A and B are shown apart, each in its own frame.
Chain A
């Protein structure tokens, strides 16, 4: 158990819909990262927040957005869902930004778009 929690574990929804994935980092961790893992793209970095501020952006679509709240939990919002958005979405957390602290990953949310 990494200490990072993600909800829900599974999500099944239809094309065109909007969903919200939630992540609670390990106690004391200020950075939250979101990754997407699909069969054809592998594990890809989406976005990072540090203490409520966006810090780095990766291959995140404009239909996707994220935020980190004052209590440090984070939410990833996916809208206008397409079949290709079906994937595992992982959240990770670390102590500090721009330092070599290892990232601890949550168990993931499996999103299925039908």
Chain B
């Protein structure tokens, strides 16, 4: 699986959009971008995934650049409950395991 690079930490004000970047410059054509988050010591939670088109669901939006070498997870109106470690994972279509990196610790401040 392609390696990802994320900033170790970010802060966001409550009610504002949180934009979490991820670099995956070695991504190959059959690899998807997945985002999970882990609220302190709880099990990781699936957020969203995409291949090359932008995706949106009830939790977040995923913007993937045209060259697919980077992506941004957007939480449109961050709340205190969004404070968590966010993991960007690049995963093959035929793969099953998830390879977690260090992730980004997002802290939403009141």
The finding on whether chains A and B are genuine partners in a shared complex, rather than unrelated, reads yes
What chain B residues lie within 8 Å of A18 (beta carbons)? none
Instruction: Report, as a range, how many residues of chain B touch the other chain.
Output: 20 to 34
Are A100 and B93 in touch, CB under 8 angstroms?
A: yes
Compute how far the CA of A33 lies from the CA of B46 in the bound complex, rounded to whole angstroms: 15
Query: Which A residues form the contact surface with B (CB < 8 A)?
Result: 2, 4, 31, 33, 35, 42-45, 48, 55-56, 58, 88, 90, 92, 97-98, 100, 102-108, 110
* Interface residues as binary, B68-84 with A (CB distance below 8 Å gives 1, 0 otherwise): 00000000000000000
Given contacts A33-B96, A90-B43, 18 further A-B contacts (CB under 8 A): A31-B96, A33-B98, A35-B98, A42-B101, A42-B102, A43-B38, A43-B98, A43-B100, A48-B96, A48-B97, A92-B43, A92-B98, A98-B96, A100-B91, A102-B34, A103-B98, A106-B43, A108-B41
Q: Is the CB of A45 within 8 A of B99?
A: yes
The answer on a CB contact under 8 Å between B43 and A108 is yes
